[in-house]
A and B are shown apart, each in its own frame.
Chain A
Amino acid sequence: MSDGELRTDGGATTDVRWNLEGVTIEDAALYIVLLLAAAFYLVPIESGLVTSFKTGTAIVETAPFAPPGASGLTFEKWGSAIDALLRGMGNSLLYAVPATVISAFVGSITAYGLTIPTWKKSYKAVVLMLIIAGIFIPYQAVLVPLTQFWSQWVQLGEALSFVWALGIPNDYAGIIELVITHVAYGIPICTLLFRTYYKTMSEEMIESARLDGATLRRVYRRIVLPLSGPMFAVVLIYQFTQIWNDLLFTLVIVSTESSPAAPVVLILAGLGTSLEGQDFALRMAGAFFAALPTLAVYILFGEEFAEGVAA
C-alpha cells in the first residue's frame, strides 16, 4: 500500500493537483488509458464470442463487436463446432495431461540434481547452458529427424500391434509419440522453472539432513518434493497451456485432421473453410470451444500462469 502511494506521488511534484473529491486529473487519465488498453486486449476476444452466436445475416448486418440481437441469435454454430471438435478435445487431453504431468515431474528431479547437490560449478554451468538453450531451439530444426525417428526408427505403430488388436485405431500411436516428444522438449523449461525455485530453498535444512547421512534421494523425497507444491502448480499450468496450444508437433506427428487421433488444434486450423467461403461464426465457436480448457486454467490460476511466463 505504501508502495502505491509513493508511486502516485511521483507525478504530484510536477504540477498542482486538481482535486475532485480526491481523484486527480492525472489519476483519471491513468485509468482511462488502462481501460482503453483493456478494451484493446478484450475486443478481439469479445467480437469472436458474439460472432459465434450470430446467424449468417446477422454477421453481415450487425457490427462485428455488437451482440447478435434477438433475431440474429443462434446456437447452431456452437452445435456444429462441438460436433466437429469434441473428438479432438478428447485426443488432446489424452496426450496433454500425461505429457504435462511427466514433464513437470522430470523437470523437478532434473532441477533438483542440478541445484541442491554440490559439484563443480563450471561443469554444472555447461549442463545448465545446454538445457536452457534447449528452451529456445526453433522446433523446425528438429522436425525432419523427428519424422524420421518416429516413422523409420521407432515404429510404435508396429511395436504396439497388440493394442490395435483390441480395436483401438492404430493412429493412436501418434498420441504416445506426442507424449514422448512433448516430454523431451518440455524438460528444459520445466527444469529452469524448478531451478529458480530450488535456488531459493533454505540450505540449512538440507545440509543438516545431509550431515545426518541422508542420501540425495531421501532429501528429495522427504524435504524438497513436499516443498515443491507451489512450483508444481506453476509448471503444470504453464506446460498444460503450452502442450494444449501447440500445433507444429501435432501437424508433423499426426498429420491429418481426418485421423481418428487428430488433436483439437489440428481440426480447428481447417474448420470453417469451404469452397463457399469462410464460415466465421463456426470458426469463432470452434476457437472458443478449443480454448475452453486453457481459458478455464487461466481464469482459475492466473497468478501461477503469470509466474510461469515471467520466469
Chain B
Amino acid sequence: MLDFYRRLYRTIRPSLGDDEDAVRTDGGVVNDGAAGSAPEPDRDFRTRVEAALDRHFGSDFIESSIFWLPPFLLMGLFVYGAVIWNLLISLTDYQRFENAPDYSNLDLEMYTRALADSGFVDAAINTLILLVAFTAGTLVVGLLLAILIDRGIRFENTFRTIYLLPMSLSFVVTAQFWLWIYNYNNGIANSVIGTVGLGPVSWLGNQNIVLYAVIFALMWQFSGYAMVVYLAGLRAIPSEHYEAAKVDGASTLKMYWRVIIPQLKGATISAAVVLMVFGMKAFDFLYSLSGGYRPPNGADILATKMVREAYANLNWAYGSAIAIVLFAMALGVIGPYLVYEYRRDNL
C-alpha cells in the first residue's frame, strides 16, 4: 500500500522526488554514518537540503511526509482542486452536451443570473431557514435528552441507543418513513393532530408547511447526535460543580441554566457546525421524498437546486455558480470554527 502511495506521490509531485529519496537514505545515514566517509557531492547536497528542511520544519518533517503527504495530496486534489475547478467552470457558459467548458471567456454572468432568478433567491432563503431552525431545534432537543439521560437513570444505554438509532439510517430510508407519516389520508401526523380536532393537513403539499415538516423530520434523525455530543460534554464537567451549586441552594433548573449549560459552549459550537453542514447536505432526503430532482414545492434548497440545474437541466456552469454560493456559506461557518479550535489548541 505504501509503495502505491509512493508511486502516486512521485507521479503527482515529480519535483519533490529528491526529498522523497532522502527519506530512504536517511535510514542509511543513521546506521552507517561512520562507513560513509566520502559522501558523493549529490548526497552531500541532499543531506544539506534535508538538514535545512528539518531545521525549518522540525526534525521528523521529511521522514513523516511519506505518511501524510500522499493522502493529503489525494484529498487536496479531490476537495480543493475540485472547488477551484468548480469556481472556474462557474465563470464559463458551460451547458448542455458540450464535452468540456470553454475557459477562454470568463465572466460573472452565472452569478448575475442567479441573483435575477427568483428560484435561486427562494432556495437561498429556504437554506437559511433550514439551517437556523434545524440547528437550533436539534441542539435544544439534544441538550434536553442529554440532561435527562445524564441524571443517573437505569437502562441508560438502551435509551441512548434508541435515540441515536435514526442517525444510522440513510436519508433515503428515513425519507420513505416520513413520506408515510406525512401521508394525507393514512399518515400518523394527521391522525395525531386529528385527536385534538385539527387537520388534516397536507404536510408535503402545502408550500408554507413543507419546509418545516422537512426540518422536523431532520430533527428526528439528528437530535440523537446532538445528545451524544452534549452527553460527552456533561460527563467532562467535574461533579464538584453540581455539588457546589447544590450547597448554594440553587434549584435544579437554576443549576443547569447558570452552572452547567455555560460550560457546554464547546460542545454546542462543534455540534452546531456539524449540524449546519448536515443541513446543507439535506439533498439526499429531499431527493428521496419526491423520487426526483424536483423537491416538493416550497422545500427547494440550494443543495437541491444546484444538482437539478446541473444534472437535470444540464446548466453545468449555472449549477457550479450555485455550488460556489453554497460553498461560501459553508466556509462562513467552518472558517471561524477552525480558527476557534486552533486557538483552543484543539486541532
Residues of chain A touching chain B, judged by Cβ–Cβ distance below 8 Å, are: 3-11, 13-14, 30-31, 33-34, 37-38, 40-45, 47-48, 51, 59-60, 63-65, 105-107, 109-110, 112-114, 116-120, 123, 125, 127-149, 152, 181, 183-185, 187-188, 191, 213, 215-217, 220, 241, 244-248, 251-252, 255, 265, 268-270, 272-273, 278, 280, 283-284, 286-288, 290-291, 294-295, 297-298, 302, 305-306, 309-310
Contact = CB atoms under 8 A, between A and B. Distances in A.
A111 B256 CA distance: 37
Given A118-B58, A144-B86, A305 B164 contact: yes
Given A45-B166, A64-B181, A110 B72 contact: yes
Q: Which of A63, A137, A217, A294 has the most CB of B within 10 A?
A: A137
Interface of A is mostly: helix
Contacts of B173: 245, 268, 287-288, 290-291
B58 A120 contact: yes
A117 B60 contact: yes
A148 B90 CA distance: 13
B124 interface: no
B148 A310 contact: no
B76 interface: yes
A145 to B, nearest CB: 4
Given A13-B246, A43-B188, A283-B179, A109 B228 contact: no
Contacts of B166: 41, 44-45
Contact of B85 (A3, A148, A251): A148
Q: Which of B57, B58, B68, B74 has the most CB of A within 10 A?
A: B68
Nearest to A146: B82
A169 to B, nearest CB: 22
A286 B176 CA distance: 9
Interface of B is mostly: helix
Given A9-B246, A105-B1, A268-B288, 11 more contacts: A8-B152, A31-B153, A42-B165, A112-B67, A119-B61, A138-B326, A141-B326, A187-B74, A213-B30, A216-B64, A247-B284
9 contacts: A44-B177, A119-B61, A129-B338, A132-B341, A138-B330, A245-B171, A268-B173, A295-B168, A309-B164
Contact of B152 (A5, A120, A191): A5
A45 B252 contact: no
B128 interface: no
A265 B30 CA distance: 53
Contact of B291 (A9, A133, A269, A309): A269
Contacts of B1: 105
Interface string B179-193: 111010111100100
Q: Which of A37, A107, A290 has the most CB of B within 10 A?
A: A37
A123 B67 CA distance: 15
- 6 A-B pairs closest in CB distance: A4-B152, A113-B67, A119-B58, A113-B68, A117-B60, A245-B170
A118 B60 contact: yes
